[in-house]
Amino acid sequence: MSVVLANCPADGVAPDNYHATSIYPEFVQVEPGRWVLLAESRMDCVIRKNPDGTLEVVEFRRLKKGDLVAVGRGENGEDGIYVHAGPLDRLPDFLAGWTPANVSGRMSGPMSVDAQPSASQADTQPADNFATTSAGHLADGAAASGAPGLPGTSGASASSGTVTAPSASFASPSPAATADKFAFRTGVSRETSFSLDYDTLYEVLRHDREHGHIVWVAGPAVVFDADARRAFAGLIDAGYVHGLLAGNALATHDLEAALYGTALGQGLYDKRQAPRGHYHHLDAINTIRGCGSIRAAVQSGRVRDGVMHALETRSVPYVLAGSIRDDGPLPEVIADVYAAQDAMRAHVRRATTVVALATALHTIATGNMTPSYQAGPGASLRPVHFFIADISEFAAGKLADRGSLTSRSILTNVQDFVVNVHRALTGACRTE
Amino acid sequence: MSVVLANCPADGVAPDNYHATSIYPEFVQVEPGRWVLLAESRMDCVIRKNPDGTLEVVEFRRLKKGDLVAVGRGENGEDGIYVHAGPLDRLPDFLAGWTPANVSGRMSGPMSVDAQPSASQADTQPADNFATTSAGHLADGAAASGAPGLPGTSGASASSGTVTAPSASFASPSPAATADKFAFRTGVSRETSFSLDYDTLYEVLRHDREHGHIVWVAGPAVVFDADARRAFAGLIDAGYVHGLLAGNALATHDLEAALYGTALGQGLYDKRQAPRGHYHHLDAINTIRGCGSIRAAVQSGRVRDGVMHALETRSVPYVLAGSIRDDGPLPEVIADVYAAQDAMRAHVRRATTVVALATALHTIATGNMTPSYQAGPGASLRPVHFFIADISEFAAGKLADRGSLTSRSILTNVQDFVVNVHRALTGACRTE
Amino acid sequence: MSVVLANCPADGVAPDNYHATSIYPEFVQVEPGRWVLLAESRMDCVIRKNPDGTLEVVEFRRLKKGDLVAVGRGENGEDGIYVHAGPLDRLPDFLAGWTPANVSGRMSGPMSVDAQPSASQADTQPADNFATTSAGHLADGAAASGAPGLPGTSGASASSGTVTAPSASFASPSPAATADKFAFRTGVSRETSFSLDYDTLYEVLRHDREHGHIVWVAGPAVVFDADARRAFAGLIDAGYVHGLLAGNALATHDLEAALYGTALGQGLYDKRQAPRGHYHHLDAINTIRGCGSIRAAVQSGRVRDGVMHALETRSVPYVLAGSIRDDGPLPEVIADVYAAQDAMRAHVRRATTVVALATALHTIATGNMTPSYQAGPGASLRPVHFFIADISEFAAGKLADRGSLTSRSILTNVQDFVVNVHRALTGACRTE
Amino acid sequence: MSVVLANCPADGVAPDNYHATSIYPEFVQVEPGRWVLLAESRMDCVIRKNPDGTLEVVEFRRLKKGDLVAVGRGENGEDGIYVHAGPLDRLPDFLAGWTPANVSGRMSGPMSVDAQPSASQADTQPADNFATTSAGHLADGAAASGAPGLPGTSGASASSGTVTAPSASFASPSPAATADKFAFRTGVSRETSFSLDYDTLYEVLRHDREHGHIVWVAGPAVVFDADARRAFAGLIDAGYVHGLLAGNALATHDLEAALYGTALGQGLYDKRQAPRGHYHHLDAINTIRGCGSIRAAVQSGRVRDGVMHALETRSVPYVLAGSIRDDGPLPEVIADVYAAQDAMRAHVRRATTVVALATALHTIATGNMTPSYQAGPGASLRPVHFFIADISEFAAGKLADRGSLTSRSILTNVQDFVVNVHRALTGACRTE
């Protein structure tokens, strides 16, 4: 059946039985046999048909009374919506000929939308066919998830592997299923091997620097260490950062480091407590506020190094989202968290790769708004890679619990992580 | 010398050399020999003299161009400001006769403020006297910090101890200093004994239920378990909660539990994954938004149990601060984080005890705005108790790193913590 | 086919293609149609046919040249061994009439053992039948794993649930599988609800006090807190501890507490650093060594309370395994770790429930030697319950990664855990 | 007064009031004015005067009835023993002319030992002089702990720093004390800057490769990742490892990797679960046991790469200490933990630097037996550096809680740590 729409009963309130979106590609049957892929989707939102006919994935808070929203919670087409949790290159046959929704302009084609159906209509719709088809393909996909094209092998040096044509469709990192009744080490922990994840990350970043959109998410620990701060600024300089999502703290301590060489009063390299060092972050904020903006402070020459300096001088956009922990805040910080969400999602809509560093708050926020795929040219799909570097099993587990084929967690100190990535990508050092 | 004031050069910008406040009692010499205690202070703010003569501790963001702000970073009186980091009952002699600042009305007395002094003036000011006096008293205080009046002893059962007269001036939990060159276990970890901390908490809460103001800070884990959620609601019912600071997630999952018996789709007691359970928190939010407010949902009978129900039915005020992770949000959530800070601080100004549960974000935010003391009647000082329950050494260490005499961390699962506290306080069980 | 045996080529060396045991029930076909259940099994050992015809699960280090050991790694009967990873009450039909191996006396029946077969023999053996049968039953089992008989439900208070007839066959704690493509919270973390686990533990312990054998495993943190130490001693006094597996540290600090009221020099309740407190544990060890044994120290009246006192006065056996961290050691400590393994396994062979507290080393060691089942009277099987209390996701995950139906981890501070269990079981308090 | 000795009342039992050693240099006054430095000391042992007149630091378990052991717990010379907890280059004046004890041969000079003194003798001994002198020097030392000679500065790149003459007397990493009443970040956590620690480690290792003795302590995680395992083997090949202290698990999984390319059945690089992979570690052990020893397996060509291969081919000694968790064990594993302690201490006696990787058990065991100093030629003292790499605040805090000037913890994943160290030291890459 085609998708059913219903009207929102009030501002910010979805109709009963609304369909909530996931991180997976979702296809909407707008008329019999005509499937449209949701574009720029995100988790836990609803599908709104705009007056111009386009389908848009919107947050509940943006709904207006009377808006038309898709209803039905079937995931296998029985409600006109198909959620594809399998490999991106293994779509069910009935989706052949799908077209992407065009959210910014017109929808990809005229769409006939049923009125809210009677129960009998819904019941007589044979939905089983979709599920069966899907299941068959999922099984195929699982069998084929042998990760061809992954860089390197156990015996070979990662750097010497001639990984040809790093296409956007990197295969699943999931190991092949085993039929054994028992196996150790099925989760991810500090004891999981990460060499492959690093190598994959390097390959993805090299590819997406030119052919994708790399969004970084970072907590303040990135700028608490001299080498890590320099490395991250170096990644910006080298073109590997197309957008940064962070908070007031990262910017504040980065600017404190630029002005005083400390983070929260402690030397970024020598770790000495500066006299009256607990004033430094406040002084940094006060100074920048006096300049009017971070940009002005950089342009005036007050701030001469670090992450914010690199962003400003390279014209890399960033979002600083406010939080209740903030001192200051810095002028660029967005006080309204939902405005900040919108600003973050504007970056994430374009992301082909997200790298999230040592921040549970911002990583989960970003993860929630990041789909697992991007629609490419010619009705193709590519994965959105999501890498997480965090030192805690709890955080990594919480962040990675997305069921995604393309999410990887590396459990380590973010200082080492950033330095490693910079070293590998800038050619300052050959990886072994 | 008396304190020196200077004008703010722009909105939101403090003058050079501003004095930043701490968690400690700070006394300002408004004229020679006349010391005023800052009231309702908080960390990392500045001291503003209002047009009506009162001294107020304000955030940088609230400054207006031309505002008069105290300058000088000496902590021992050399700049007219004395920061008292020692025991509250051991003030230096020169503070005798101090009066509290009256922030809501008029300041406690006329204040003569010096103009910005010349450097020579500052240099010739003999400040050593203050430091010496202070140091002497601090040494006395340290020697006396033998924790008299603490409940129980190592050999005695905690419950059998007849703890008389639980005054507000509970002594320091810090163990007496030892002269040994080496001792094990000087920090706080999962292996630290917590029986004393629990007993102290129980005593403090029993006292402050009638004679103080108890503010709780809570993360969503408090409502993820059936027993813990019931226990926390029970503490509200029993009058031990005078205010709650939390976020959208706690309220959302508490309401999800009330409506569906799940948290993020998982049974609160049986842990089963409900079919389509990942819709539950969205449905809960959508339902409440449809009702217009949490209060309306409670009053209409849609929500019949749990934390939000208890708060509403008991008329206990709460603050739900927004974050970039939020779905929804619920109607009561404050989107502007600095407005949320202000709302939180309105509670904290009155707090005599803060109990913070399993949330780094909200606990740090609250900790930053909580002074270590309250001014009582008759020029007395009492401590503000700050208890933290968290399962992680990192979080507890970060949260407790306040140098406070009155901050205690208990490293445990918040489920156990809340159930324990409820059981001990409601008399459902005798502590051993 | 019947199981195949081969000779050990040297002392401590198994023949090629030996079969390694798991935690699951394993059935050995000793002659066509005659299946024998391994008794007192453990993980990562081999199956030896003793000269008296019995089958015994033995460690590699105990093999002697020429010993007969089962070979073949098929798990579905194709090599004469069937590993049953499904529910204990859902055995495949072909196992009907199985008998338990009798390791202490004679084997349950004469066993004809094939000589090492030729490859053609093995190849022509139709093994698919077993696998198919097994798969069918596993599917049934999974569908039936709806945990009937579990105490309480989401809506009901745990304490009010009238849990009748706590049989030994408690069902699986795993939630029913969902067909959704996505669900949150599929793992175990600090945010997992634990009320059900506590209630199940209480029920199991009440049952097994009379009708089972409860083995505890404990790290030193159990005796670092006054209340926890008293609670654990109380559990021993109340008959809930049938054996304790621990190390030198637990006993040392328990005895230090008995003699000096401290653990590593810090007060067990008041947390004060005793002068020269870093001598206390050494003095405790030296005192006990002077007495000749822990038992002598208890009997002489030198040690008057605590865990070791309770064990000795209640004649509860214990194993203190040595480690390279030990000071002393205490006289009862076993220096040879493999002798210690043997002593531990002597307890575990009888265990129906294991409760492991805050020790990765001893818990993993014990977990490795604990089967998931016990053979009961009349060809019945009951699960061996394995509860783990640890504060760390990493430890709990590592410990629980056994694929077992009956292993549960509670992430909390062991102090709270022990006090909770004592309170619930001794009736000192009613659980809510 | 001179040190007092007393007889052991029984085997393994020290006399009352025995003096227990610490990690610090301890000087014993063997006759008035003649001070002898304990050599090859360790924590929590006693000082025995051997029949040949030498002073030896021995474990309680090695005492024999009648042995002469030093008594007295004063640390400032009042009992003839001076514990020096200050900087190594700031000894009190009264120690001038001290000589090292010669444990292997004769003691450095004739020693007159008092008989057990009467109480009056002890009381009349003026001990205050020592304490006062010591205090003066400690204060000087603290003021001088400005870490001259440390590589790099906050502003300078670590690699460009021309660190001249890396002497053995690296100064304290502790930051200069501040007189502020408050400072953030006084502990060590994941957010602590580690660049300086890495650089110091590199410098120390480069120095001690030729001029010291570098002992490594390692848990199995070092060999769970392909790059980390290769890096650690590379450090052995490059001469940076003079001894390795580990357990059965590290060797087992290293050998599993050599034979099967897996660790616990999971690919060391590709992370795939090998079919029947849970047999791999058992097969590895069985294979090595069949060879008779690890050495034989290497020499026969069965084992061709990895850590054990590098140790054997480079003739680097190692200790594999047994534990109750062990499968197997491998032939070289020492079953008696106290024999293992002795074997470990034989290495530690010579150590100038210890690097401990991702193992709480072995690190604490080694830390307990590692003094903070080595006596050098010409009555000089040099520190023993103790570096710890661990991912957990709890472990690092527990391990580092030694009060030592020379212990440093780096909180990170050991995979990154080992790869970083190898890269920096082998010149494969320039550090930034």
Q: What are the pLDDT digits (tens) for A8-24?
A: 999 999 999 999 999 99
- Look-up: residue for tokens 């740090």? B364
Whether the pLDDT of residue A125 is over 70: the answer is: no
C-alpha neighbours within 13 Å on the C-beta side of residue B383 = 23
In chain A, residues with a C-beta closer than 8 Å to the C-beta of D266 are 175, 183-185, 193
Whether the pLDDT of residue C287 is over 70: the answer is: yes
Whether the pLDDT of residue A285 is over 50: the answer is: yes
Mean pLDDT is lowest, of C419-423, D57-61, D182-186, D241-245, for D182-186
Whether the pLDDT of residue B397 is over 80: the answer is: no
Interface size B-C, in CB pairs within 8 Å, comes to 229
- Stretch(es) of chain C classified as CATH 2.40.420.10: 4-112
Q: What is the pLDDT of residue B400?
A: 64
| Mean pLDDT score, D139-148 | 31
- Look-up: residue for tokens 């069949």? D290
| Of residues A384, A341, A13, the one with CA closest to residue B325 | A341
Q: What is the pLDDT of residue A163?
A: 31
Q: Give me the CATH code for the A4-112 domain, please.
A: 2.40.420.10
What single string gives the DSSP state of each residue in A134-174?
Answer: HHHHHHHHHHT-S-TT-S--SSS-TTT-------S-----S
Nearby residues of C297 by Cβ (< 8 Å), 6 or more positions away = C255, C287, C288, C291, C303
Q: How confident is residue A187, by pLDDT bands cut at 50, 70 and 90?
A: confident
Whether the pLDDT of residue C184 is over 80: the answer is: no
Distance from CA of D247 to the nearest CA of C (A): 10
Sign of CA dihedral C186, C188, C191, C192: positive
Q: For D175, which residue in chain A has the nearest alpha carbon? A: A272
Q: Higher-confidence residue: B398 or A90?
A: A90
| Mean pLDDT score, D275-299 | 97
| Of residues A76, A77, A73, the one with CA closest to residue A2 | A77
CB atoms C278 and D394 under 8 Å: no
Task: Flag whether residue B18 sits within 8 Å of chain A, measured between CB atoms.
Answer: yes
CB atoms A154 and D415 under 8 Å: no
For residue A290, give the H/E element and its range: helix A280-291
Q: How confident is residue C103, by pLDDT bands cut at 50, 70 and 90?
A: low
| Mean pLDDT score, A73-100 | 93
Whether the pLDDT of residue B281 is over 90: the answer is: yes
Q: What is the pLDDT of residue C427?
A: 77
CB atoms B225 and C411 under 8 Å: no
Q: Higher-confidence residue: B400 or C63?
A: C63
CB atoms C275 and B178 under 8 Å: yes
Rg (CA), chain A: 24
In chain B, residues with a C-beta closer than 8 Å to the C-beta of A290 are 9-10, 13
Tokens of C172: 């699986």
Q: What is the pLDDT of residue B148?
A: 32
| Mean pLDDT score, A311-316 | 98
Nearby residues of D84 by Cβ (< 8 Å), 6 or more positions away = D24, D25, D26, D27, D91, D92, D95, D134
Coil, strand or helix at A28: strand
CB atoms D154 and A195 under 8 Å: no
Rounded-to-integer distance, Cα A157 and Cα A149, Å: 15
Q: To the nearest whole percent, how much of chain A has pLDDT over 70?
A: 78
In chain B, residues with a C-beta closer than 8 Å to the C-beta of C171 are none
Sign of CA dihedral D176, D182, D184, D188: positive
Q: To the nearest whole percent, how much of chain B has pLDDT over 70?
A: 78
Rounded-to-integer distance, Cα C32 and Cα A214, Å: 63
Alpha helices in C292-426 (DSSP H): 294-299, 307-313, 337-348, 360-368, 393-400, 414-426
Q: How confident is residue B240, by pLDDT bands cut at 50, 70 and 90?
A: very high
Q: Chains meeting A at 3+ CB pairs closer than 8 A?
A: B, C, D
Tokens of D300: 């026969």
Q: What phi and psi values does residue D82 have, to the nearest 5 degrees?
A: -120, 120
Strands C262-263, C266-267: parallel, antiparallel or unpaired by DSSP? antiparallel
Q: For C134, which residue in chain A has the nearest alpha carbon? A: A181
CB atoms A13 and B289 under 8 Å: yes
| Mean pLDDT score, D209-228 | 97
Q: What is the pLDDT of residue D102?
A: 66
| Of residues B254, B249, B3, the one with CA closest to residue B107 | B3
Rounded-to-integer distance, Cα B293 and Cα B314, Å: 16
Residue pLDDT, tens place only, B37-60 = 999 999 999 999 999 999 999 999
Residue pLDDT, tens place only, C17-40 = 999 999 999 999 999 999 999 999
Q: What is the pLDDT of residue C401?
A: 61
Partners of B63 in beta bridges: none
CB atoms C83 and A181 under 8 Å: yes
Partners of D262 in beta bridges: D267
Q: How confident is residue C394, by pLDDT bands cut at 50, 70 and 90?
A: confident
ipTM for this prediction: 0.84
Nearby residues of D41 by Cβ (< 8 Å), 6 or more positions away = D21, D22, D23, D25, D26, D57, D371
Find the CB nearest A44 among B60, B276, B327.
B327
Residues 326-385 of A with CB under 8 A from C: none
In chain B, residues with a C-beta closer than 8 Å to the C-beta of A323 are 323-324, 337, 361, 365
Rounded-to-integer distance, Cα C127 and Cα B126, Å: 96
Task: Flag whether residue C397 sits within 8 Å of chain A, measured between CB atoms.
Answer: yes
Sign of CA dihedral C311, C317, C323, C329: positive
DSSP-derived secondary structure letter, A320: E
Rg (CA), chain C: 24
Whether the pLDDT of residue B123 is over 70: the answer is: no
Mean pLDDT is lowest, of B410-419, C117-126, C199-208, for C117-126
Q: What is the pLDDT of residue B398?
A: 75
Find the CB nearest B403 among D22, D24, D182.
D182
Thinking of the domain D135-426, which architecture would CATH place it in? Answer: 3-Layer(aba) Sandwich (3.40)
| Mean pLDDT score, A85-110 | 73
Whether the pLDDT of residue C162 is over 70: the answer is: no
Residues 137-196 of C with CB under 8 A from B: 147, 150, 152-158, 173, 175-180, 182-186, 190-196
What single string gives the DSSP state of each residue in C178-242?
Answer: ---S--S--S--TTS--HHHHHHHHHHHHHHHHHS-EEEEE-GGGGSSHHHHHHHHHHHHTT--S
Find the CB nearest D397 among B22, B392, B393.
B393
Cβ atoms C205, C397 nearer than 8 A? no
Residue pLDDT, tens place only, C205-233 = 999 999 999 999 999 999 999 999 999 99
Q: What is the pLDDT of residue B186?
A: 64
Cβ atoms D407, A405 nearer than 8 A? no
Whether the pLDDT of residue D138 is over 60: the answer is: no
| Mean pLDDT score, C356-369 | 94
- Stretch(es) of chain C classified as CATH 3.40.50.10690: 135-426
Cα torsion through D268, D271, D276, D281, rounded to 10: 30
Give the distance, in angstroms, between the CA of residue B304 and the centroid of all CA atoms in the same chain. Answer: 30
Tokens of C431: 């659980």
Q: What is the pLDDT of residue B280?
A: 97
Whether the pLDDT of residue C163 is over 70: the answer is: no
Residue pLDDT, tens place only, A31-65 = 999 999 999 999 999 999 999 999 999 999 999 99
Find the CB nearest C61 among D60, D323, D329.
D329
Q: How confident is residue C122, by pLDDT bands cut at 50, 70 and 90?
A: very low
Q: Chains meeting C at 3+ CB pairs closer than 8 A?
A: A, B, D
Q: Crossing angle for the helix pair C414-426 and C226-237, nearest 10 degrees?
A: 40
Whether the pLDDT of residue A160 is over 70: the answer is: no
Whether the pLDDT of residue B352 is over 90: the answer is: yes
The span from the first CA to the last CA of chain A, in angstroms, equals 55
Task: Flag whether residue D61 sits within 8 Å of chain C, measured between CB atoms.
Answer: yes
Mean pLDDT is lowest, of B155-169, C113-127, C132-146, D191-205, for C132-146
| Mean pLDDT score, D221-249 | 98
Whether the pLDDT of residue D170 is over 50: the answer is: no
